[in-house]
Amino acid sequence: MMRKKIIAGNWKMNKTPKEATEFCKLMKDKVASSEVDVVFCVPFVDLYPALEELKGAGIGVGAENMHFEDSGAYTGEISPLMLKEMGVSYVVLGHSERRQYFNETNDMVNKKVKKALEVGITPIMCCGETLEQREAGITIEWIRIQIKCGLAGLTAEEVSKVVIAYEPIWAIGTGKTATSEQAQEVCKAVRQVVGEVYGETTAQQVRIQYGGSVNGKNAAELFAMPDIDGGLVGGASLKEEFQEIVHYQK
């Protein structure tokens, strides 16, 4: 089973709409690739400029969050239907920063993943352990729970379309990348739990990214691991360096 690699930038709360347009203009040819799927996940107000600038460039545009209802009295939230109509094709769900600062739970993440699939947006569902959990030796158990809860109630066919991002919290924004062995161990465990619940075919189809201080220098080694199907990139996706990650094979 050859899974196409998927390399996604997560801009987090960076770049104004003007800066988004400029950056997309600068980068679109540099990150064009037929070998890997390339995605820019951007703040809500940058979606329109990014979609406009990246038209026809073969680069996917994603949101960084969304609500799980179609519409309603949810002041300040963004609906999946709004994203879909704009042409957004991916959405990051359950990022550790959302779990940590905005109290997102596995249950909410599960509702969002279901909804994204229902409207036809590819969810990039995040999981990851804290340093404390790693040191306590409970990383794999914790990740298994996040995956089982996040994907609960989906069909095997739906799960095969989900992108899962393993992002150890201690490696995010710290410059402290997980070793490729550490990242592989957990990504393999993610594939294994998907296989236990949804079957081996689904497990072989689902794409699993690594995230956490991925840069132009370490991408090739990480992405060469058998269960790592690309990366979710924060800091380095804001800079021209992102092209080195996309073209990690060169």
Query: Catalytic residues, which ones?
Result: 95, 167
Question: By beta-carbon distance, which residue lies closest to ligand 13P?
Answer: 234
Which residues, other chains included, contact 25 with Cβ-Cβ below 8 Å and sequence gap of 6+?
A: 53
Single-letter code of the amino acid located at 180: S
**Where would I find the beta strands (DSSP E) of the chain?**
6-10, 37-41, 60-63, 90-93, 122-127, 163-166, 207-211, 230-233
* CA 146 to centroid of chain Cα atoms: 15
Provide the mask over 154-173, with x wherever binding to ligand 13P is found by CB under 6 A and - wherever it is not: -------------x----xx
**Lookup result for tokens 């596995």:** 106
Provide the mask over 193-212, with x wherever binding to ligand 13P is found by CB under 6 A and - wherever it is not: ------------------xx
143 scored as a contact of ligand 13P (CB under 6 A): no
233 scored as a contact of ligand 13P (CB under 6 A): yes
104 scored as a contact of ligand 13P (CB under 6 A): no
51 scored as a contact of ligand 13P (CB under 6 A): no
Paired tokens of 126: 């995040």
178 scored as a contact of ligand 13P (CB under 6 A): no
- Cβ 11 to ligand 13P shortest distance, Å: 9
Handedness of CA 94, 98, 100, 102 (dihedral sign): negative
| Nearest Cα residue to 217 out of 181, 240, 241, 184 | 241
**Secondary structure of the chain: what % helix, strand, coil (to 5)?**
45, 15, 40
Are 219 and 245 in contact by the 8 Å Cβ rule? The answer is yes
- Cβ 184 to ligand 13P shortest distance, Å: 18
232 scored as a contact of ligand 13P (CB under 6 A): yes
Are 140 and 166 in contact by the 8 Å Cβ rule? The answer is no
Q: Between 24 and 124, name the residue whose CB sits nearer to ligand 13P.
A: 124
Distance CA(130)–CA(169), nearest Å, equals 5
21 scored as a contact of ligand 13P (CB under 6 A): no
Site for ligand 13P (CB under 6 A): how many residues? 14
- Cβ 36 to ligand 13P shortest distance, Å: 17
- Cβ 168 to ligand 13P shortest distance, Å: 10
| Footprint of ligand 13P (CB under 6 A) | 10, 95, 167, 172-173, 211-214, 232-236
